[in-house]
Amino acid sequence: MSIVDVERSAAAKYKLQVIDCDIHPAMTSWKEIHPYLEKRWIEHLTVYGSHLRHAFSEALSHPRMSPDAARVDAYPEEGGPPGSSLDLMRKQHLDPNGVEIGMLIPLRWNPGSQRNLDFGVALTRAMNTWQVERWVKQEPRLRASVLVAQEDTAGAVAEIDARGGDPNFTQILILPRTDEPLGRRRYWPIFEAAVRNNLPITVHVGGTGGHPSTGGGWSSYYMEEHHMVSQAMQAVVTSLVFEGVFERFPKLRVVIMEGGLGWIPSLSARMDKHWSRLRSEVPHVKRPPSEYVREHVWFTTQPMEEPGSSAALIDLFDRIGWDRLLFATDYPHWDYDDPRTSFKANLTEAQRLQLLRGNARTFYGFA
């Protein structure tokens, strides 16, 4: 594999001002979590490990094409996986890219997919405290996400209420491969708690719900699996709309994170078309589905679409709505988007600022 050496520490042509909505922090050692985890669960994790609905307890069944799914230049000199060194994160990403605020999206252990619900809830509690102690308190530019174990609704709600008043947290994090589609009523107490605490629900790709990646079975290759996360996101949006979640919770805001953008206009049109034909089945869906999407759903930009022409990308943004797009890099993952180069379109300075920072400021209510 050849490595393109980009001079990432060089000063930008102009001063970047960025809010990065998707940064993945990692642990140097899993013992980092011990201070926040009850003894019982430390022993449980040691003896039984992660108990999920897939073949390997600690590995992905579609291995990525780079170690840790990471940029090859993101390994800290002091050891540990990419994303585990705050020092390197500052030097490599936060400082040169002008990141004013960065949102932490921890993915380790997949607490929301743990089949042992008590274990899942304990992990979310520990990892939420870990985000604050290990990251946010050390680096004021970072913000934490409230991890929840959504299959234990009561446990998830308790954790949301416990963190709701803490300004270190900006959102509630759920991975889309849940036991049932996210709009189903078993999850509604979580949406109620989100609205009560004025926190958006952020759905970042991942999770192991046990269902195949497609309605026609499992994919063979990572190339497919990586593609299909955007179809899983479509199913999440479809479920939220057709279960009537936005009718029931008119103040609920949802962020679809890392799910791609190209499908949004076609899914909205498809939902509208077939809703108009089949609406007698879903009388609780009172308006064309695209209106709920336009009002309640935001999307992060990475991985940025590359339709091959500036005009096609701008046409796509026009149809999604410019104010719905939140910039994200996915640092330190391999498909990271650089704020300087990821938009292959002729943007005005105002548009660039809106995408890189303005929309997220408004959405998350940063001063």
Partner 1 sequence: MTGNRQTVGADISTRYAAAIDCDLHPAVPSMKVLLPYLDDYWREMVSVRALDRLNLNLTSYPQNAPLSCRPDWRLDGGRPAGSSLQAMQEHVLDRYRPRFGILNCLYGAQAFHSEDMAAAFCRAANDWIRDEWLSRDSRLRASIVITPQNTELAVAEIERRADDFRFVQVLMLVSGEMTLGRRQLWPIYQAAERLQMPIGVHAGSSYRHAPTAVGWPSYYVEDYIAQSAAFENQLHSMISEGVFAKFPGLKVVAIESGLTWLSGYIWRADKTWKGVRAEVPWVTRAPSEILRDHVRLTTQPIDAADEREALLRLVDHLKSDELFLFSTDYPHWQFDGDAALPSGLADELSRNILSENALATYPRLLKADHAMEIAL
Site for partner 1 contains 332 (CB under 8 A): no
Q: Which is nearer to partner 1, 102 or 181 (CB)?
A: 181
Residue carrying the six token digits 């076609």: 266
Question: Nearest distance from residue 63's CB to partner 1, in Å?
Answer: 9
Closest CA to 224 of 62, 60, 59: 62
> Which residue from 260, 332, 339, 358 is in contact with partner 1, where contact means CB under 8 A?
260
Q: Which of 84, 170, 178, 342 binds partner 1 (CB under 8 A)?
A: 178
Interaction between residue 278 and partner 1 (CB under 8 A): yes
Residue ranges in 50-69 that form contacts with partner 1 under rule CB under 8 A: 65
Residue number, 274 or 286, with CB nearest to partner 1: 274
In contact, 337 and 302? CB cutoff 8 Å: yes
Question: Segment contacting partner 1 (CB under 8 A): 86-94, 132-140, 156-164, 227-235?
Answer: 227-235
What residues contact 113, with CB distance under 8 A and at least 6 apart? 52, 53, 120, 151, 175, 177, 178, 207, 208, 209
- 224 in contact with partner 1 (CB under 8 A): yes
Longest dimension (CA), the chain: 61
The span of 30-38, 49-57, 92-100, 298-306 binding partner 1 (CB under 8 A) equals 298-306
Distance CA 167, CA 156 (A): 18
Cite the DSSP H helix spans in the chain: 39-47, 86-89, 117-130, 153-163, 188-196, 222-242, 245-248, 264-278, 289-296, 310-320, 349-353, 359-364
Q: Identify the residue among 104, 122, 236, 320 touching partner 1 (CB under 8 A).
A: 236
Q: How far is the CB of 69 from partner 1 (least distance, A)?
A: 11
User: What tokens were used for 282?
Assistant: 């879903």
Of 196, 204, 203, 302, give the one whose Cα is nearest residue 251. 196
What burial class does residue 60 get, using C-beta atoms within 10 Å of its C-beta: 0-12 exposed, 13-18 middle, 19+ buried?
A: middle
Among positions 133-162, residues that touch partner 1 (CB under 8 A) are none
Minimum distance of partner 1 from residue 37's CB (angstroms):
29
> Can you read off the two tokens belonging to residue 293?
């999407």
Determine, following the binding rule CB under 8 A, whether residue 177 of this chain makes contact with partner 1. yes
Amino acid at 171: Q
For partner 1, which is the closer residue by CB, 32 or 151? 151
Least distance between partner 1 and beta carbon 46 (Å): 31
Q: Which residues bind partner 1 (CB under 8 A)?
A: 1, 65, 176-184, 209, 211-224, 226-228, 230-232, 234-236, 238-239, 242-243, 260-267, 269-275, 277-282, 303, 305-308, 312, 315, 334-335
